[in-house]
Amino acid sequence: MGLYSKLPGELEEVDVIVAGGGSAGCIIASRLSDADPNLSILLIESGTNNYENPSIVYPAFIFDHIKPGNKYTTFYKGNKSDLLNDRELMLVTGGVLGGGSSINMVLYSRAQRSDIDGWKTPGWSADDLLHYMRKLETYHGPGKADRHGFDGPIHVSEDVFRVKKWDDEFMKSINRAGWPEIEDMNDLDNINGATRALRYVDSEGKRQDTAHRYLHPRLQDGKHPNLHVLIESSVERVLFEGQKAVGVVYTPNPSFQPSVAGSENPSRTIKARKMVVVSCGAVGTPLVLQRSGVGDPKVLERAGVPTVADVPGVGRDYEDHQIMLYGYKSDLPPEETLDAFNSGRLDREALVANKDKILSWNSFDIQCKLRPTEADVTALGPEFREVWDREFKNIPDKAWQLLIPVQCFPGDSTGFPIEQYLGAATYPLFPLSRGHVRITGPKLDDQPDFDLGFLSDYMDMKNHLWGYKKQREIMRRIESYRGEIPELHPPFPAGSKAACIETDTPHGDVADIEYTADDDAIIEKWVREHVDTAWHPVGSCKMLPYEKGGAVDPALNVYGVENLKVADLSILPTNVGSNPYNTAMAIGEKAADMIIQELGLGK
């Protein structure tokens, strides 16, 4: 099996190097290994192996991965921001083979047609990508057959564990609030309602990450001796001869290989005869390129890195979804929330040994993609009206806000009473705020200048205001609602109609809460103090024309150099109205096809 933590001495050169073993990288390496047995591929991943690891295979462990110090997670610290009450946000990304696909919430969530067509990039229309969305999946849900795939490696299905009664309660509540239930909200076209979520799990409830579904079968079948995977090693930079990429410099990751910590020169080199593909994610990829001398010359000069290619778009206009979490009390029984599992009241080892069905569940059973009414838009003010009319009004399949109800305490419940809780996660799908990713030095461990840019455009705050009010109206109409968790809501004063309450009975179809200007100011302050990243970093090496801030062309070639491509979520010209895993996989599938054709393989 070609899986190593240290490369064999005789392996000094391969045909293609894929830097980054995440959602897209695992697909690219796997598909290339199928295309030609004589093509040698090396995938390099900074994290460790994920194979059959229960905390990765079973979605119930999702909340463990955001805890500080988790060894399967990479944490990037953002710059302190006065817009966020002087906080330094921490971005959580996959730090294990499979990348984000090994630790994400396994929610089946596709982009909308207008999201992709809005890129206006040849070869990258919604119909072009739908081909790859279908290719990658085996779909076990409702909807039109021509919108889904039925023989791909990634299974999409309902959980083997689900609380249907609560799903019905939520659908009844959101209907009362004015939105319909939609049978299939992942057909590229349907939005503005709620759908019963499907997940990337198989019939046993196991996670469908790209390492388990693409890479490991090929490493174990004895038919792919051309596929090599190096784990626990971080790519420092791409090697160039002139403007031609000819390999990479990498370093064993001291988190897993402590023997290299403190070594004077632990770096090693591996050559690539044909191509290097960087797939390290929307933070990792621009850092690799900049350390390699590809980027804005001013940024490179400050960091002490000689310029190989002047590409100012590298690391520019970073985007992410800005999430808010709100908590509620419920009368649900213990077996209908994930609280007992998350708090350690259940014996996890016994659950794993017995392959308990709850392990397939992560408490997210419904997905809502919502748009405001015209009355809502008017109430948000003339400046917002201008943005809405320009960006959304005439694009009916473009969602504005994502809402996901949660059947557990939405965060760390330490110190809270042992009860059964509910939560609501909301985020603007197309925030206008932008950030940047920049190196500050030539080394892997130099702290990057990472500005998430959250709330730098005030219109995003308008979205959060609307999101808070709408999610609360929906949640308080649910039959099992028993009041708010005050610590997880803005601190409205006792005399406010928006003040948190506690109740012993359902509210039913009550009147909407009336908010004053003072209440709105309290919500805004709360958002600045609590908004966080949804772990959806994109767009830092955009697939745009060079003169428009692009870093790669439609063939994924990095501007100004040869034999170097980028293939991950950093290439998105603009964000997508969904969780990005599906888009990352589609990029991996399409990139693999492009490379196979470019190298003249598979004929």
Active centre residues (catalytic)? 536
Distance CA(25)–CA(162), nearest Å, equals 32
Q: In what order do the strands lie in the sheet with 435-438?
A: 316-318, 435-438, 449-451
Backbone angles phi, psi at 28, to 5 degrees: -60, -50
Distance CA(103)–CA(114), nearest Å, equals 28
Do 209 and 24 touch, CB atoms closer than 8 A? Answer: no
Closest CA to 383 of 462, 319, 456, 455: 462
Show Cβ contacts of residue 547 under 8 Å, excluding neighbours closer than 6 positions: none
Do 277 and 591 touch, CB atoms closer than 8 A? Answer: yes
Distance CA(46)–CA(95), nearest Å, equals 7
Alpha helices in 177-318, H assignment, sequence order? 210, 216-220, 281-291, 297-303
For residue 345, the tally of other CB atoms under 10 A from its CB is 10
Distance CA(309)–CA(311), nearest Å, equals 6
Distance CA(262)–CA(471), nearest Å, equals 50
- Cα dihedral 347, 66, 101, 50 sign: negative
- Half-sphere exposure for 260 (CA within 13 Å, toward CB): 17
And the tokens for 580? 């990005």
One-letter identity of residue 554: P
For residue 314, the tally of other CB atoms under 10 A from its CB is 34
Distance CA(48)–CA(599), nearest Å, equals 30
CA distances from 489 to 166, 256, 330 (A): 22, 40, 16
Distance CA(490)–CA(78), nearest Å, equals 24
